[in-house]
Amino acid sequence: MLPFFALITYLLFKSRELYYAEALVMNVYLLGFTSVCIIPINALSFFLSNGVVSLLEVILLVTYSIWTNLNFFKGKVMWWIIVKSIVGIIASYYLFNVTSNLVMKWFM
């Protein structure tokens, strides 16, 4: 999923200063930290329903992604970065979902 996040980030925030490799490194750190934070949230599945745990994971991912992009792209319009971050998350998951479905159809 990481290459999809990086590609969408690169396309949405494309400028002269951002290369795909930089978007990839930023997303490695972003997804690495959110993965570490999701582990304790998944431990809550013993006490809470799966829907609540999934909602907490999505809230964490969206919040941290917005915060990371706001810090990475300082000096840009803040509300536009927030909109691009949300669009980027939705587009990344959609692209990943479509690609994984195509791969599953080829092998089944």
pLDDT tens digit string along 1-59?
A: 788 888 899 998 887 678 999 999 999 999 899 989 988 888 888 888 888 888 988 89
Q: Is the dihedral of CA 87, 89, 95, 101 positive or negative?
A: negative
Neighbours of 55 (CB within 10 A): 13
What pLDDT sits at residue 14?
82
Residue 88 structure tokens:
């980027």
Question: Residue 81: which residues within 8 A CB-CB, separation 6 or more?
Answer: 66, 69, 70, 73
Residue 108 has pLDDT above 80, yes or no: no
Instruction: Give dist(CA 104, CA 108) in Å, integer.
Output: 6
* Residue given tokens 């996040």 in the structure block: 5
pLDDT at 87 (0 to 100): 93
In 3D, which of 34, 37, 38, 11 has the Cα closest to residue 24? 11
pLDDT digits (tens, 9 = 90+) for 50-106: 888 889 888 998 999 999 999 988 888 899 999 999 999 899 888 888 888 898 888
Q: In which element (H, E) is residue 42 found?
A: helix 20-43
pLDDT at position 95:
87
